[in-house]
Amino acid sequence: MRGECEYLACIKLTMSTIETLAYLEYGDVPNNFQQFLNAYFETIYDKNLWNNNAIITPQELWELRNAIIHTSTIISRKVKNQQTLPITIFFNISEKELYQQCPQTSVIDKIMDFDYFMTNALINAISLWIKSYDNPEKTSTLIGRCEHIMLNDNFSL
């Protein structure tokens, strides 16, 4: 049980980090999470062999974020209403083990290798995002948004 709680905390913190970076990049605007994913993340492939190398879209990751943050499950309202596919998350598993655990009947789920997401996709996205701040005007906007986060009256150290 302890390991599962640690994984859940890791996923929640990762989604929160992406959301904070999206706010810093775009401000408080609708779909900033998806905009950030589109701008800075490489394509994230579905690891479900039977889904023919489908991609995991920013909208699907947003729904995963909603479910994880609000209910600690992978079932958001849109997944429950069959408006989007669920994403099953695996940690530290080989491809062979993955396919042994996911029979062909699992075609409805998309599968995300969270180790890869953390160690490659997220790090690469943050690196690209940081490099985009060579522009002094953009840096000024970032500083203003950072000050808003840190100086918010509801936040105290």
Strand extents, DSSP E, 41-102: 44-45, 55-56, 87-90
Q: What is the pTM of this model?
A: 0.78
Distance CA 13, CA 62 (A): 14
**pLDDT over threshold 90, residue 35:** yes
**pLDDT over threshold 70, residue 114:** yes
**pLDDT over threshold 80, residue 67:** yes
- Specify the DSSP class assigned to residue 74: S
